[in-house]
A and B are shown apart, each in its own frame.
Chain A
Amino acid sequence: MSVYQKNEVEEVETSRTLSLVVDNQPGTLARVIGLFSGRGYNIESLTVTEIDKLRSLSRISLVTRGTSMTIEQIKSQLLRIVPVHIVRDLTLEGPFIKSELALVKLVVKGANRVEALRIAETFRARTLDVTLTSFVFELTGKPSKLDAFIDLMRSLGDTEISRTGVSAISRGHKTETKLLDQI
């Protein structure tokens, strides 16, 4: 432990899901990522896409890990970035939905092909591509569900995985419309 750190009982690190609204400009993502790498914070998952063409705004959904003091620090550091407009801590705000999409290619022959399809059906995965020796499945849902599916597929044959990272939104009727209008 560094002597510059607080000598208290280390608080447990928890996983937090942050939802950011940022200007869709070159450099904004670099700024956000640079903040995490420069200050030594973790990024467990990150997704970015434009959500408002008219105002040119993007959403960054970000999963990070840290003590509550670190998370508070991350949030205030993020707000210092000029093109970052909104920083929400979904974990802290209340119930929220976390969803992710995975594309899983499985190379498989013989009896395991039936098994693969059966598992895919159980997980409600869609079959997007079929050849005599392979499948491509598409699955959405909680990251833990995706993990489980991918583990099973790996035991059946050679796999190739592409995942989007977590996208998240709060439950209930509250929206950000008012906050967005102030930008």
Chain B
Amino acid sequence: MLVTNDFLIESINKMKVDYISGAEAVIKALVENHVEVIFGYPGGAVLPLYDALFENKKIKHILVRHEQAAVHAAEGYARSTGKVGCVLVTSGPGATNAITGLTDALMDSIPIICLSGQVPTHLIGTDAFQEADTTGISRPCTKHNYLVKDPNKLCEIIHKSFEIASSGRPGPVLIDLPKDIQLSNVKYENKKNKINNINKNISSYVDQNLINKVARLLLEAERPIIYGGGGVVNSGPEASKLLTELVNILDCPVTLTLMGLGCVPNSNKRFLGMLGMHGTYEANLAMHNCDVMLNVGARFDDRVTGRLNAFAPNSKKVHIDVDKSSINKVVHVDYGIVGDCKNILSALVQEVKKLHNQKSMKTKTKWWSQINEWKDKDSLGFKQIGQNIKPQQAIKSLYEKTKSFDTYITTEVGQHQMWAAQYFGFSKPNHWMTSGGLGTMGYGLPSSVGVQIAHPKSLVIDISGEASFLMNMQELSTIVQYKLPVKIFILNNEWMGMVRQWQELNHGSRYSESYTSSLPDFVKLAESFGISGLRVDNVNNLDTTIDDMINIKGPVIADIRVEKEENCFPMIPSGAAHNEMILSSHDNHKDTSSEGLALV
């Protein structure tokens, strides 16, 4: 009898040990899922979680100054490391502020876990203080979301969320955590080895028959082109290597989307630069005139295709994508291969090598000489005349000065973003963080926070415009708090440059509300945060200013006063096709079509 009693007491004690608070379980589950950094902002509904974080030594919390910035920082962290980015926000306004960031992550396929606080379950639906229907609001802008109502399911939900966020086509997952769930007693459960049924569209099975057909198609092509996108970056550095290998074996021109920059080193002689609306002349014309197109991990975005009925009209198209719904969504392809870029590319490289030994490849001399003719147009050429700094020159000089470092670039959205994509060279994937799909002004500064946290020793530069910078400049405070030596390189033309450019081209130069008036003195702004500010308006001092920016140990705001009314070229006007590019304002171009005017 006595023995049994002892046994009972022992097991009761054991049970007590096993039970922890919901908040502690959340943090424990994050640690089990290899989270090292979490970006967040506290508030009433997440106090138990912050309490659990207080005791925790394994997760570093970065206090941002706005929840949108928390998500962008996590995006920068995720994109530059290949890990899942983690965010913690409170209920109501905390969650609604995070929505822009979540949408951005969904559009650009970035794995994010966003934990949001919620009012206690018994108050849900009563319009309680700081209550919002967070799962309702975030449903269309997350890959998946959960409202945890049962503490017993808490651990399982968190583990599953990480799997959902990082597998298949990555994306943001939001977990809404009512305060009473955070305070409840939970028995911690470890992650199961295998979580089923998340990516029903994808199988690891590679259709060898299809690979064979595609390999033949590529080898027999006279005018092939490979077009890579963000999916290659998401698939890991190995995929980028395989893509470069494929390009080299086939002696095939390659172009990359905005999201894909860095997958093939810019030094590769087969790389034609970025394609699309502000892509190079040679890349777009090669796309237009190709006979075989291989799309790896890109999604035929409207910035890339231009007018669809004139998109690569005489080509056979192959599309590799991890997301089945991307295939045949807007462009009909001849062969669609659903799968992870790395797996498919590896099979394809093998097959191409095998077939290459058996028979000779079609010579591409004619195709290359055609491409070189297009290259001679020098579509990115510009003339730096006078003392005023051309924005293109600013980026070019920045690239020259920083290419020997391990440099990570983030950008905001607009002209400066396009100039960065055009004139900065990327030799590796994961070194370029930009808001592609959603086009979120204010992305770059918070994103650079995440990148610098992940890579404390590297040179992190936010290439910014003065208007975008103002959208999330509160993050200067975060940068100072964590002593992040981020360099903020503002191409300051006192305009919302891209808006101004479109008004010039499409709206008779009626510059409605696109002037950024009442700008702060950026040098004094920097000083007010206790960091360094630099300003340059003469091209002769540009290089020394960039040197100073790099050499100053801490964060720097560099106010680069550039030519105010410079436009970003080359450009495919909206509603036009790849072969209807304009190279400069002087180019004879038709007025934008009425359909084109309606496009964004």
Residue ranges of A at the interface with B (Cβ–Cβ < 8 Å): 2-8, 26-27, 30-31, 34, 38, 69, 72-73, 76-77, 79-82, 84-85, 182-183
B267 at the interface (CB under 8 A from A): no
Bound CA span A7–B309, Å: 5
In contact, B136 and A30 (Cβ under 8 angstroms): yes
* Complex contact B140–A38 (CB within 8 A): yes
Is the pair A80, B140 in contact by a Cβ cutoff of 8 Å? Answer: no
Q: Does B274 contact A (CB under 8 A)?
A: no
B118 to chain A, nearest CB (A): 14
Q: Can you list 13 A-B contacts (CB < 8 A)?
A: A3-B308, A3-B309, A4-B308, A5-B308, A6-B332, A7-B309, A27-B139, A34-B140, A38-B140, A73-B328, A76-B201, A76-B324, A183-B197
Please, which residue of chain B has its CB at the minimum distance from the CB of A23?
B197
Closest B residue, CB atoms, query A68: B328
Known: A4-B330, A76-B201. 18 other contacts (CB 8 A): A3-B595, A4-B305, A4-B307, A4-B599, A5-B309, A6-B331, A7-B309, A26-B147, A30-B136, A38-B140, A72-B328, A73-B328, A76-B325, A79-B325, A81-B144, A85-B197, A182-B196, A182-B197
The answer, among B135, B145, B198, B593, for a CB contact under 8 Å with A3, is B593
Judging by beta carbons under 8 Å apart, are B599 and A3 in contact?
yes
> Which residues of the other chain, A, contact B302 by a CB distance below 8 angstroms?
4
Bound together, the chains give a CA A5 to CA B593 distance in angstroms of 15
Residues of A within 8 A of B131 (CB): none
Tell me the complex Cα distance, A5–B598, Å: 14
A-B CB proximity, top 10 nearest: A7-B309, A76-B325, A3-B595, A76-B324, A82-B144, A3-B575, A77-B325, A79-B200, A79-B201, A3-B307
- Which A residues are CB-close (under 8 A) to B197? 85, 182-183
Give bound CA distance, A148 to B595, whole Å: 44
- Shortest distance from the beta carbon of B102 to any chain A beta carbon, whole Å: 15
The contact string, 1 if C-beta is below 8 Å from chain A, for chain B 138-171, is: 0110011101000000000000000010000100
The residues of A that contact B329 with a CB separation of less than 8 Å are 73
Cβ-based interface call for B323 (8 A)? yes
Contact A2 B595 (CB under 8 A): yes
Tell yes or no: B596 within 8 A of A by CB.
Answer: yes
Q: Once the chains bind, are B140 and A6 in contact (CB under 8 Å)?
A: no
Task: Please report the total number of B residues contacting A with Cβ < 8 Å.
Answer: 34
Across-interface contacts of B201 in A (CB, < 8 A): 76, 79-80
Q: When the two chains form the complex, which single residue of A3, A26, A30, A82 contacts B596, counting CB atoms closer than 8 Å?
A: A3
**B135–A27 contact, CB under 8 A?**
yes
| Among B201, B302, B593, B599: residue with most chain A CB under 10 A | B201
Return chain B residues, CB-CB under 8 Å to A77: 325
A6 near B144: Cβ-Cβ < 8 Å? no
Q: Which B residues lie within 8 Å of A82 (CB)? A: 143-144, 164, 198
Closest chain-A Cβ to B300's Cβ sits at a distance in Å of 10
- B337: min CB distance to chain A, Å: 14
Q: Which residue of A lies closest to B200 (CB)?
A: A79
Q: Across the interface, which residues of B come within 8 angstroms of A79, CB to CB?
A: 200-201, 324-325
In the docked arrangement, what's the CA distance between A160 and B314, Å? 57
Q: What distance in Å separates the Cβ of A138 from its nearest Cβ neighbour in chain B?
A: 35
Distance (Å) between the CB of A2 and the closest chain B CB?
7
* Cβ-defined partner of A85 (8 Å) among B200, B305, B593: B200
Interface core residue of B140, B164, B302 (most chain A CB under 10 Å) = B140
- Taking CB atoms, residues of chain B closer than 8 Å to A73 are 325, 328-329
- Chain A residues within an 8 Å CB radius of B595: 2-3
**Which among A2, A82, A183 has the highest number of chain B CB atoms within 10 Å?**
A82
Shortest beta-carbon distance from B321 to chain A in Å: 11
From the candidates A2, A80, A84, name the one contacting B323 in the complex (CB within 8 A): A80
**A37→B72 CA distance, assembly (Å):** 28
With A76-B201, A79-B200 already in contact, the answer to whether A31 and B330 are too (CB < 8 A) is: no
- Are B332 and A69 within 8 A (Cβ)? yes
Q: Hey, which chain A residues are within 8 Å of B143, CB to CB?
A: 80, 82
A2: chain B residues at CB < 8 Å are 595
Contacts A7-B308, A76-B201; A30 near B325 (Cβ below 8 A) = no
Is A80 a contact partner of B325 (Cβ separation < 8 A)?
A: yes
Residues of chain A within 8 A (CB-CB) of B331 are 6
Separation in Å of the B437 CB from the closest CB of chain A?
15
Chain B residue nearest to A87 (CB atoms) is: B200
CA distance A72 to B329 in the complex (A): 9
B residues 73-116 near A (Cβ < 8 Å) are: none
C-alpha spacing A177/B197, complex, angstroms = 16
Q: Which B residues are in CB contact (< 8 Å) with A5? A: 308-309
B576 to A, closest residue via Cβ: A3
Closest CB of chain A to B181's CB: distance in Å? 15
Residues of B within 8 A of A6 (CB): 308-309, 331-332
A69-B336 Cα distance, complex, nearest whole Å: 14
Contacts of B200 in A (CB 8 A): 79, 84-85
With a cutoff of 8 Å between Cβ atoms, the chain A residues found around residue B309 in the complex are 3, 5-8
Contact string, B313-345, partner A, CB cutoff 8 A, digits 1/0?
000000000011101111110000000000000
The reply to whether A30 and B330 form a contact with Cβ atoms under 8 Å apart is: no
Instruction: Indicate if the CB atoms of A31 and B139 lie closer than 8 Å.
Output: yes
Bound: A38/B147 CA distance, A: 22
* Complex Cα spacing A4 to B329, Å: 12
Q: Are B324 and A30 in contact (CB under 8 A)?
A: no
A85: B residues at CB distance < 8 A: 197, 200
Q: Which residues of A contact B325 (CB under 8 A)?
A: 73, 76-77, 79-80
Chain A positions within 8 Å of B139 at CB level: 27, 30-31, 34
Measured between C-beta atoms, what is the minimum distance from A25 to chain B in Å? 9
